[in-house]
Amino acid sequence: MKIPFIDILRYEKNFLETVTERTAALLKNGHFVGGPVIAEFETSLKNYTQTQFALGCANGTDAIQLALRAAGVNKNDGVLIPDMTFWATFEAVVNVGATPFTIDVSKETLHVTLQSVKEGVEKFKPKALILVHLYGHACPETIEIRKYCTEKNIVLVEDCAQAIGVKINGESLLTNAFVATTSFYPAKVLGASGDAGGIFTTSAELAATTTKLLNHGRTSHYEHGLIGWNSRVGAYESTFLVESIKHIEARLDSRRETCERYRKEIKNPALKFITPASNVTENGYLAVATMTPESRPAFIEYLKSNDIGYGTVYPGAMSEQPGAKGHIGGKISHGHADWIAKSVINLPCFAYMTKAEVDYVIEKVNQYK
């Protein structure tokens, strides 16, 4: 049996036929940019995430940049980010002219802690913090960090590129976020067929500013009140996502079941699975575990020899990336992000994995010595 790390082509019955029919209608009516399908997409997104305002944009990286700009983060402002995240988090800060400062993460949860945030705030005096929710979980101290940022007047942007469908205390992670962003890259749990992104907020003012920024700073068709850029989400990707949202909970249930089975049925002591906090409902984006850095290379070769796909999300700390030089303002490191980069392992997990596929992965991992 050959098991890919991810298979994005497992759709529901008639899903592709419905998308094709709706695409044909777009080709006939010419609503390629803007139009009713954008409003339909944003309404569907708002309803699913239970947010006050939900806006589509061109991609997940733009979403972070838009959120920072709309929230008033400007040139030379300091922004704290986790040292363990995807590069887009770092480059978005640089692209708005601000300065990124990295803070370390927990080896147990793989997320920042309230204490690490406090340490970064005291040392770097930042204007903003980007709180990244990784691996389909939520940062365990999200509520406490939100409260702390409010008390300290720190702009909190939540990067939820891996966290659509995640819940805290039974409520969407996005519902009470001041401003949050996501990516609809095809490999995400809610993926488009190309690039697209989203911004969510509780602030009407921030939503209005973001709407202008993503469309050339327009205040009317030929009047531009802000320096924005072109980050409009397209009608085709909106159509694809509208249809995907209709099936999102079934897809997430499938992923969650796989993650839960791995944690319960894989008994190999070489792997330590990371579990979401007790008040967090995961979305099953990644089945994430850690190993000792010394043991991971041999285990990866074993997976390859048994035709099992894998991931190492992420294999490098932000502060150690070559592109960080000349841009990073400083870092607080206790070696955790670097250790995680050398230790993390992700087993296959995607919507509608079959029982036989999951059984095979469990069997082979348990047999590894």
Q: Is residue 221 part of a domain?
A: yes
CA distances to 65, 68, 155, 247 from 179, in Å = 12, 9, 9, 25
Any residues with CB less than 8 A from the CB of 313 and at least 6 apart, and which? 134, 135, 286, 288, 344, 346
pLDDT of 82: 98
Q: Is residue 2 part of a domain?
A: no
Render 13-46 in DSSP notation, one character per residue: TTHHHHHHHHHHHHHHHT--BSSHHHHHHHHHHH
pLDDT of 292: 98
* Structure tokens, 122: 């005291």
Q: Do 71 and 211 reside in the same domain of the chain?
A: yes
Q: Is residue 9 part of a domain?
A: no
pLDDT of 243: 98
Identity of residue 101: F
Q: Do 68 and 178 reside in the same domain of the chain?
A: yes
Count of domains for the chain: 2
Last residue of a domain, one of 192, 217, 245: 245
pLDDT of 138: 98
Q: Do 73 and 193 reside in the same domain of the chain?
A: yes
Identity of residue 316: G
Distance CA(178)–CA(333), nearest Å, equals 28
In this prediction, what percent of the chain has a pLDDT beyond 70? 100
User: What H or E segment, with its residue span, contains residue 296?
Assistant: helix 296-305
pLDDT tens, 144-176?
999 999 999 999 999 999 999 999 999 999 999
**Is 103:119 a contact under the CB 8 Å cutoff?**
yes
Q: Domain limits at 208?
A: 15-245
Q: Do 260 and 239 reside in the same domain of the chain?
A: no
Q: Is residue 204 part of a domain?
A: yes
pLDDT of 225: 97
The CATH number that applies at residue 293 is 3.90.1150.10
User: What H or E segment, with its residue span, contains residue 100?
Assistant: strand 99-103
Q: Do 198 and 274 reside in the same domain of the chain?
A: no
**Is 178:192 a contact under the CB 8 Å cutoff?**
no
HSE-CB for 260 with a 13 A CA cutoff: 10
Alpha-carbon radius of gyration of the chain? 21
Q: Do 103 and 158 reside in the same domain of the chain?
A: yes
pLDDT of 169: 97
pLDDT tens, 264-303?
999 999 999 999 999 999 999 999 999 999 999 999 999 9
Distance CA(314)–CA(342), nearest Å, equals 9
Q: Do 223 and 317 reside in the same domain of the chain?
A: no
The CATH number that applies at residue 122 is 3.40.640.10
Residues of the chain with pLDDT under 50: none
Q: What are phi and psi of 129, to 5 degrees?
A: -130, 135
Q: Do 190 and 337 reside in the same domain of the chain?
A: no
> Percent helix, strand, coil in the chain (nearest 5)?
40, 20, 45
β-bridge pairing 155-159 and 128-132: parallel
Q: Is pTM beyond 0.85 here?
A: yes
Q: Is residue 4 part of a domain?
A: no
pLDDT of 55: 98
pLDDT tens, 214-244?
999 999 999 999 999 999 999 999 999 999 9
Q: Do 241 and 96 reside in the same domain of the chain?
A: yes
Q: Is residue 211 part of a domain?
A: yes
pLDDT of 344: 98
Last residue of a domain, one of 230, 245, 260: 245
Last residue of a domain, one of 208, 226, 245: 245
Q: Is residue 7 part of a domain?
A: no
Q: Do 254 and 214 reside in the same domain of the chain?
A: no
Q: Do 200 and 280 reside in the same domain of the chain?
A: no
Q: Do 78 and 127 reside in the same domain of the chain?
A: yes
Q: Is residue 6 part of a domain?
A: no
